[in-house]
Structure 1
Amino acid sequence: MSSTVFLKNKESKVAIEKGELISFQKNNQEYIHQKGSKGWRNSDDEMFPVIGPTSKNNFRVHTKNGDAILDQHGLLREMDYSLISSDESSAKFIKKYKKNTAIINSKFPVKSTEEKLFWPFDFTFEKNFTLKNDVLTIDFIIESEKGMPFMLGYHPAFLLSNTGTETLISNDTEITLADVYKAGSNACPVLNADKIILKNSDKNDIEITTKNFDNFMLWTEVENMLCIEPITQYTSYTDQKFSEENMRLSEGKNTFSVTIKVL
């Protein structure tokens, strides 16, 4: 049985592999960075329950339930999604975590000193896709005990023309790929924004709108792809300590959404 789920309607097709968005096409034109191409090994991913490099905090995150050990962007990406349900227009996936369960860190030992990661809270994390009227919506539903600290980031990569001529528009401000390159590994922040438009040079533009994230960051090191990442918090240019005082606190159930529309 194939591990890939397909959504489709008259003009658009979506492919999802084990919870990862690997393709979004409209009129047979691809808009998602393809795995195996230069730039990044994935096509999308999530950052949870922290965003950014934790090495400056000795990989520790302070919480009311004790210190956690987390690597860059948390531990969710080290876990596998389970498929809940799917049909021609939607697919639902989930990850479940039991507090203090050790998770093997794929960055160890080459890029990290921490072999295992853990988080001192139970949580479930749903990632639900819906394709309607050629618009793809991705909903995230996080359930945990009230007061659990967290950050959330979504990390999709979009296919570019390989010319370096694309630009982005947000809050009436133009951002060039040169601006993104300059930010480097810190990623370029776009703060207090819930919409961004990617102005493509070789195909239709893309509009990305969000709910409850409130910020974006942009990252790439190549001309053929760009990560446009909705985030709850931007940490790279701050001296922020990784502790719950600098994180959102769960309401018990928190929802976020990202909508991708070809213009």
Structure 2
Amino acid sequence: MTKLSLKNQEVQIDQGELISYQVDGHELIHQKGSPGWRSSDTEMFPIIGPTNKADFRVKTPKGMAIQDQHGLLREMEYELEEATETKAVFVKRYQADTRIKNSKFPEKSSEEFLSWPYDFTFLKSFHLNENGLEIDFEINGGEGMPYMLGYHPAFNLTTENPIIYTQEREITIPEVRAVGSRALQVPNQTSITLENQLHLTIKTEGFQHFMLWTEVSNMVCIEPITFYPYAVEQSNLDNGFKVLKGKKTEIFKVWLLPKK
């Protein structure tokens, strides 16, 4: 367990997973074991979205990749690279075409192993500062590697009628639940605010959109994404790829900014 602290803020990270973020004793992160989802946060990489209708195959310039929903990164384990009182850095390293055990097999998937035809290194960093918690993602890979990236945190809901604010609209939890497993698309936004026990603003850099998902009233996932996967047929998921170019490194940022 890795712990960060700064004044009224406390963070707990379990092998790269943000399992607690408390501000003045208020828990902002969905707790494992509570109804809704078995995790508290994870990443979607190198793809976002389901693949079952495409026979778990995704087109890449190097041929078909075997990918289950939201990619193979979540099936790998983080290694702790660095830890201080206010900072922690975790890393996952992947060698092209390495077979990764699929935890959804055989109950929810026909594919026992997943693979990707590119090398990559994926860093996830937590930085606690006076304003809140910054979470950075650094992707290193070969030039031309296609990818999507989504961050999938779940937030604890404790008030009767929490509201999600975008620049254009207000969104209620029943509205999010009504969309179901597809998740509610919030396009062309770099900031969203959740009004609950505290005002929590989720601000991003590098991500273009959000999607919102929950099936319960006690938590909601507010997910920064580079691409909304339900905009295309699963067989055309490659239409949503970004590509590593030039420096072959991309950095994405998420800030969790709480206010009373």
What range is the shorter-chain TM-score in? Answer: over 0.9
Residue of structure 2 in register with 1:188 after alignment: 184
CA RMSD of the aligned region, Å? Answer: 1.1
Q: Aligned partners of 1:246, 1:204: CA distance in 2, in Å?
A: 34
More off after superposition, 108-117 vs 241-250 = 241-250
C-alpha displacement of 1:246? 3.2
Could you say which residue in structure 1 is the equivalent of 2:200? Answer: 206
Q: Is the 8 A contact 1:63 1:243 kept in 2?
A: no
How far has the Cα of 1:237 moved from its partner? 4.0
For 2:218 and 2:174, locate their aligned partners in 1 and report how far apart those are by CA, in whole Å: 13
* 8 Å Cα contact 1:186/1:237 also seen in 2: no
Q: Distance in 2 between matches of 1:39 and 1:19?
A: 21
- 2:165 alignment partner in structure 1: 169
Unaligned stretches of 5+ residues in structure 2: none
- What residue identity is the alignment partner of 1:31? L
| C-alpha deviation, 1:145, in angstroms | 0.6
**Which residue in 1 is equivalent to 2:242?**
248
Q: Which amino acid is 2:117 matched to? A: P
Structure 1 residue aligned with 2:256: 260
How many Å apart are 1:134 and its aligned residue?
A: 4.2
- The aligned counterpart of 1:147 is 144
Q: Distance in 1 between matches of 2:98 and 2:143?
A: 20
| Structure 1 residues 15-44: Cα deviation after superposition (integer angstroms, max 9, x where no partner) | 101000000011111100011111100000
Aligned residues: 257
1:31/1:159 contact within 8 Å kept: yes
Residues 202-254 of structure 1: CA deviation (Å, up to 9, x unaligned)? x2110000001110000000011100000000012432534544311112101
TM-score (norm. length: structure 1): 0.95
Partner Cα separation in structure 1 for residue 134 and residue 215 of structure 2: 27
| 1:88-121 C-alpha deviation (Å, 9 max, x unpaired) | 0100000000000000100000000101000000
Partner in structure 2 of residue 6 of structure 1: 3
Q: Report the Cα distance in structure 2 between the residues aligned to 1:162 and 1:116, rounded to whole angstroms.
A: 42
Corresponding position of 2:157: 160
3-state DSSP class of the match of 1:45?
Answer: strand
CA gap of 1:179–1:62, structure 2 versus 1, over 3 A, is: same
Q: Residue type of the partner of 1:230?
A: P
Q: Contact between 2:19 and 2:40, CA under 8 Å: does it hold in 1?
A: yes
Structure 1 residue runs without a partner (length 5+): none
Is this contact kept in 2: 1:39–1:224, CA < 8 A?
Answer: yes
Paired AA for residue 142 in structure 1:
I
Over residues 66-93 of structure 1, what are the superposed CA-to-partner deviations in whole Å (9 max), with x where a residue is unaligned?
A: 2110000000000000000100010000
Question: What's the counterpart of residue 104 of structure 1?
Answer: 101
Secondary structure of 1:46's aligned partner = strand
- Partner SS state of residue 155, structure 1: strand
